[in-house]
Chains A and B, each alone.
Chain A
């Protein structure tokens, strides 16, 4: 645990662009991966002797494999349009957290070794040798990028710093300088099937517990099936949904929707994880290996559809990459999108009038919605561009009476990251996470004051965990973040369910235990 003392940034009344303060975040570095975290992923356990040459070779290799990298390294004109667009710059004021400056950490090495100007006139174009100091900067600042793509929206050439961060992390992994948090987790999925390292029997227990809870709550026997062959739908959901708050309330929501719509579904113990941290470390091979578990599970269980639970980057990998990594999906039912988001499923059922809601069940809340970056800027829902904005909002509005959006430059394609994405959701980066959350906290504070908003809904496991952790720093409480399907779960009327009074009491009781679990974690 980092017990660095740091100050939580002040919520500013008029967010103006802060003046830069050099190197104020250069101390921020996540724990380094040790041999047992590195080797299962195919990376060396510690800094290799000829690291300099290996790194340069890897850079050349990546440039020849990724057009994005090659084009982005060449095309930046240093116009500065992106400089104020990163939440980490806004929250920390460290200039190396300006997207272009972050890219330049990589670009100056690229220029030195791969371009005419950098080879012969390094000073003129700001090219630098790859030294130990440069490597230290890389480790620090490429782990201060949540790969949220906000900068890419505003760059005249669409330069996406996330692509550069991913490349830099892969180069570092290749020379033995990996990040413990991501690599340890990826190892667990390779071995066990989910980020938590939760084995099949434990998962089964958890799901049984949920079945009991829901039946007690509602009087309806809603099932949480595991490894059921021949089910129609394979649900792939972030493993946080199995135990963390408010995630698990979302999982209960999905189960109720499936139950009420009469869709047979199952979770797989082999692919019990939607998250794919292979993306965060820029490793195509690792990302592919993780994605293939889903294919194996789908084949093994003989399902017809694949549905993803609420998770931001998982949905990016699912929507944008799954067909590439683990397709073709010709053995699934082609009448449904492959894969499908749980919000698309619920939204479709709502449109077809297949679900009934008592919206007043959510009247104790006034809601706003946080667009998760990977859903907003790296994927889609439905069949129209922008469905990723409309569909979750429509689901919320179908189950809640009170909803207000945050200010327009902080939502949809301009949404600010929660501060914990991209493989940074670890306690050793707490200062960064708290500071990076500033722009979102300011936007939230505003709707709290202006519109009386009490809760923020999200559809990303990382966002939910991050907010429940950083809310207290900004004088919110951790239970003010909710899952979208938690709202669905509250309002849905199951055929044959208990009468309401009992249920309200139950809900109060649950809110207490929710707090206990978070503090324990």
Chain B
């Protein structure tokens, strides 16, 4: 079988994107891990046990609790977007796993509607960014472009799964091929190709942009620290050095 230049290019792009994403994320996570938090600064009232912190963090990760307290509109759109994204990513597992796990099969129909939730959320967020004077003030060009990029990814995805259709069998064999270093042909469908290029671009930007909020949340001392400063002495290495003189 002849492998097209297009297929080789897209394959190369995804390998590159993956390397950049993985390198960037590992670098950041290591940096966050290595940087000490010298003082106890949980935003109070804070949990007084580790289990309590896990509960607090879960509420932040799953429900966006703090955002709910601060802005109902941003919460609604932000949560719809992220929840839709989560569903849709699970759905996309079917392109990488063979044979497909049963639960991935079961969620396929819901996953499809995840993209609709994403679309609604993204449009809401974009409108808010343009309309509310305070949010407009704090927005840099990259903040709009990021929304537009994800909106384009979502729209091309919706177009394929609801209207145009795609050769899912070939797409799957392409991605399974990528994982096993056995490159297969990708259909030369312009909508599919632009969808994939934009996804790769997003992967590349991820570790160099505000998308770092994803790992960042888990390292935020104001959220992940236990309130036990009086009971346990908490001291960073560099602070300990000061005690020598």
| A interface list, Cβ under 8 A from B | 17, 19-20, 63-68, 70-72, 74-85, 95, 98, 100-101, 104, 115-117, 121, 123-126, 149, 152-160, 163, 284-285, 288, 319-321, 323-324, 327-328, 337-339, 376-380, 383-386, 388-389, 413
Contact = CB atoms under 8 A, between A and B. Distances in A.
B229 A385 contact: no
B38 A158 contact: no
Contacts of B223: 157-158
A208 B66 CA distance: 50
Tell which of B40, B41, B66, B129 has the most Cβ of chain A within 10 Å: B41
Interface string B199-240: 000000000111011001101111100010110111110110
Contact of B47 (A285, A320, A337, A385): A385
B137 A20 contact: yes
Nearest to A413: B45
11 contacts: A66-B35, A70-B35, A80-B134, A117-B142, A156-B60, A158-B223, A288-B239, A323-B233, A324-B229, A328-B233, A413-B43
Contacts of B236: 65
Interface string B18-57: 0000000000100110011111110111111000000000
A116 B45 contact: no
A100 B222 CA distance: 16
Contacts of A17: 134
Which 3 residue pairs are nearest across A and B when measured between Cβ atoms? Answer: A75-B216, A126-B140, A154-B70
A216 B221 CA distance: 51
Given A154-B66, A158-B223, A319-B229, A80 B128 contact: yes
A62 to B, nearest CB: 10
A152 B60 CA distance: 13
A413 B46 CA distance: 11
A82 B221 contact: no
Contacts of A156: 60, 64, 66-67, 78, 213, 217
A123 B209 CA distance: 14
A124 to B, nearest CB: 5
Contact of A159 (B64, B74, B78, B220): B220
Contact of B69 (A153, A157, A163, A319): A153
A65 B35 contact: yes
A67 B135 contact: no
A125 B140 contact: yes
Given A70-B35, A74-B210, A155-B66, 11 more contacts: A67-B221, A71-B221, A77-B210, A81-B66, A125-B209, A153-B69, A154-B66, A159-B220, A337-B230, A378-B41, A383-B48
B139 interface: yes
A124 B210 CA distance: 13
A338 B231 CA distance: 8
Nearest to B47: A385
Given A288-B242, A388-B45, A84 B134 contact: yes
A85 B220 contact: no
B98 interface: no
Contact of B40 (A20, A152, A321): A321
B202 to A, nearest CB: 14
A101 B137 CA distance: 8
A247 B147 CA distance: 53
Given A65-B35, A385-B46, A323 B234 contact: yes
B37 to A, nearest CB: 4
